[in-house]
Structure 1
């Protein structure tokens, strides 16, 4: 499945979101349909933000007067290059450039962004009229997590503000009251699981995106166990942020899918789901294998497997690497995290 859905729309302001030029004291009015478009994108879990050459205070005040300011995360309003603004947006939201759409009425600005950030999708304002029907802006499913995505980013900002008050990262993590719950996927979880496989690039061990129908078939197959994990802390839930697919046949277990949302990389929980599976395999005296398919972004997952005690055991038919656990290494689970899990994995 191709990963085409846009995750973030970066809006210009003058003659894009509104008609008129703010710095020239024009009488500004919103472009027809723009408010509805922004709200619909937000409801679909697509982040809205700003890259505008303007005075920041004036621009944000004007957005607030139009009742739209709350919809924009990490707005970049300055007199610098818009490619630099989009780079900052990418870093703050932790998404790929190929998941960003930039909308600007000026060909020069679109060309400047494209010349620096080739993966960003650049559009003229004429896309606005039909963007609500454009498949690139329509996620396959709208899950609980996607509908709350803006709120989750805002909550993350509160966490970051608190984190800045700590010089010791471990001390910060200790007081977050982190809890990771691992559970067997239910049919109602599969939309979110598909969404995670589509959206997660860096921490996906195979890079493969499973469809809802494929996942449903696997869920009904007694030889497979699909695990999902949800992370919470004192601020609330991060949502379901991790998935593993485990094939269990006789004394051999094989991890065909392991991924973790990039949003939780800084919480040190990326390896906990793997640690749980390894410990269960060792407890039940099973030989544990794992598939790894290198992509341009998932090198970190190979390192995660190596630190957990895996070594290369051969090649896969798809060109990937077959890994095998050494049966000795017991991956650690951070002491600042409470792990809960029903005994889900088949004997």
Structure 2
């Protein structure tokens, strides 16, 4: 099963999606199937239904299951034979049978589907585990916002309206089709996706790599453009791309998404280009050249096409809410920036027992903050008294942020310990300083590891009896945790991940020894996970390291120049995403000297207040 080629899964229901027959009595959902539907949507793969049943009964049941009904499009539920209905679902969705998978427990139904759609992929319900496995192997672009689902919802609405129109041309004229032609080709990822995946309206079918496509975009010898479309029913986003060799007036690429099939946009664009040479490869759904009138399509500007999103960004600029979450790398850049809107921070801090509270910035603690009760936290601290309740508290999910800057240094640097009974994980200090290694205990007790906690051998021995040291968090766990964090954040929140330096400082001490190899391993896994995700940005510290002078004592600490450049990158992201006007000041400017003095005074004052509260019990 080639999951990356599948665009639609059509489900039978009785004894397939659920156990039992709904018309005969009780049925029970199969949890793995419900999860599969969700996982498919997250990957931009649609779900439909072709079932012999009563529509009203099925609709009522699925609507009561956490509104499961809304996860399916173009459902066909009646008592007619399935073959023809499956073909109609595929046609209505403007898809090809080869990109569709049909699942049924009845072999006759599978064979009937193959008769009407010879190229369709089929799967007996007894082999559904193959689908679950295939989903996990998916390597395409993720769609956690379910934007593709929304576009097929638009198509459903259009199908109803089209059936009521007096003619197809009358329907198209009433649809108010608007097109924006982007000659800057700003969404390169979408162009790469279109070149690699489109078929029905891909006239040259030339599959090329990102680097090959970029060579066209950067050359003056080619006229390139990405095509955006919308109508009165919805916004279809970037739906096409062309690359025209200027001298020969020959199209190298000319392709459009099937989501706009039947709108005539590809023919309208071809007419605008004065019908250049086009060598069509293979079959296409529509000819590029037509004598039919396409004047109902309007060419509009960037400002008109994106008016709504521009207004929303401006609104976000005036009320922008940003969270900076992490250790010293973020704490060093935030003071350099101003005019960012409403800023909140979750930096390491000194707790009531004068020890550094840093655990709440580790991804394991972030997720545990959602599940651990106050009693659970008390139990953890009884066994690990060097921890603080604050290690398990975060406002990451309790408030809405436009942008979250999150550093991965805690995941890449801190040691992780697993409770032998409950499986709870806690992070503490460097992964090079194992709390459960008796050879390290003396330095903990003497304070050589700079933790400020009054360790004793009894405390360390008791902790070692309860917890197992597992080293640093495995890259698979880091990826899984980040994926969960991204899913739990609102889809319109931009997550900016700060990755550790992949170049090693030559003056590392024991705490930071061998940091770079671990950074490389985790960074590569994270970049692979989010390479095609629009609501995730990455700032890699490595990009700012030009020599050993860029470090300040270890691989995780940097010079003022590096922090200034990172702050500039962060400000650019803020200004692009929110239309704010964040500014960055040079570290040694008069403005920053005054800010540092004020911050130093505030830090001393806050520390004195904490000590007084601890002394008087308030």
Q: Answer yes or no: same fold by TM over 0.5.
A: yes
How far 1:11 sits from its partner (Å)?
A: 0.5
Q: TM-score, normalised by structure 2?
A: 0.44
> How far apart, in 1, do the equivalents of 2:169 and 2:280 lie?
32
Counterpart residue number, 1:255? 251
How far 1:289 sits from its partner (Å)?
A: 4.9
Question: Could you say what secondary structure the match of 1:103 adopts?
Answer: strand
Question: Could you say what secondary structure the match of 1:256 adopts?
Answer: strand
Counterpart residue number, 2:286? 300
Counterpart residue number, 1:105? 105
- The correspondence of residues 167-246 of structure 1 with structure 2, limited to 5 A, is 167-186=166-185, 189-246=187-244
Q: Does 1:340 align with 2:300?
A: yes
The change in CA–CA distance for 1:213 and 1:68 in structure 2 (over 3 A counts) is: farther
The change in CA–CA distance for 1:52 and 1:197 in structure 2 (over 3 A counts) is: same
The change in CA–CA distance for 1:231 and 1:110 in structure 2 (over 3 A counts) is: same
Which is further off, 153-162 or 127-136? 127-136
| CA offset digits 1:153-192 (Å, max 9, x no partner) | 21223333334443254444334332111012535x2322
Q: Does 1:125 align with 2:125?
A: yes
Counterpart residue number, 1:345? none
> How far apart, in 2, do the equivalents of 1:53 and 1:174 lie?
37
> How far apart, in 1, do the equivalents of 2:27 and 2:88 lie?
27
| CA offset digits 1:13-65 (Å, max 9, x no partner) | 1111111111221x211113111110111122211001112222212222222
Counterpart residue number, 1:314? none
User: Are 1:275 and 1:333, in contact at CA under 8 Å, matched by a contact in 2?
Assistant: no
Q: Does 1:75 align with 2:71?
A: no
The change in CA–CA distance for 1:270 and 1:3 in structure 2 (over 3 A counts) is: farther
Q: Could you say what the CA RMSD is over the residues aligned between the two structures, in angstroms?
A: 3.0
Larger radius of gyration: 2
Which is further off, 12-21 or 148-157? 148-157
The change in CA–CA distance for 1:257 and 1:108 in structure 2 (over 3 A counts) is: same
> How far apart, in 1, do the equivalents of 2:3 and 2:17 lie?
27
Counterpart residue number, 1:88? 88
How far 1:275 sits from its partner (Å)?
A: 2.1
Q: Moved runs in structure 1, 4+ residues, more than 4 A? A: 168-171
Question: Could you say what secondary structure the match of 1:33 adopts?
Answer: helix
> How far apart, in 1, do the equivalents of 2:134 and 2:3 lie?
15
> How far apart, in 2, do the equivalents of 1:211 and 1:82 lie?
40
> How far apart, in 2, do the equivalents of 1:34 and 1:299 lie?
33
> How far apart, in 2, do the equivalents of 1:255 and 1:140 lie?
27
> How far apart, in 2, do the equivalents of 1:235 and 1:113 lie?
31
How far 1:219 sits from its partner (Å)?
A: 2.5
Structure of greater relative contact order (alpha carbons < 8 Å, 6+ residues apart): 1
User: Are 2:229 and 2:237, in contact at CA under 8 Å, matched by a contact in 1?
Assistant: yes
Q: TM-score, normalised by structure 1?
A: 0.76
How far 1:129 sits from its partner (Å)?
A: 3.3
Runs (5+) with no aligned partner, structure 2: 303-618
User: Are 1:5 and 1:139, in contact at CA under 8 Å, matched by a contact in 2?
Assistant: no
User: Are 1:5 and 1:138, in contact at CA under 8 Å, matched by a contact in 2?
Assistant: no
Question: Could you say what secondary structure the match of 2:48 adopts?
Answer: strand
The change in CA–CA distance for 1:161 and 1:186 in structure 2 (over 3 A counts) is: same
Counterpart residue number, 1:60? 59
User: Are 1:143 and 1:191, in contact at CA under 8 Å, matched by a contact in 2?
Assistant: no
The change in CA–CA distance for 1:245 and 1:106 in structure 2 (over 3 A counts) is: same
| CA offset digits 1:250-307 (Å, max 9, x no partner) | x4332111122333233232212222222xxxxxxxxx85241331x22733xx34x5
The change in CA–CA distance for 1:51 and 1:242 in structure 2 (over 3 A counts) is: same
> How far apart, in 2, do the equivalents of 1:85 and 1:95 lie?
14
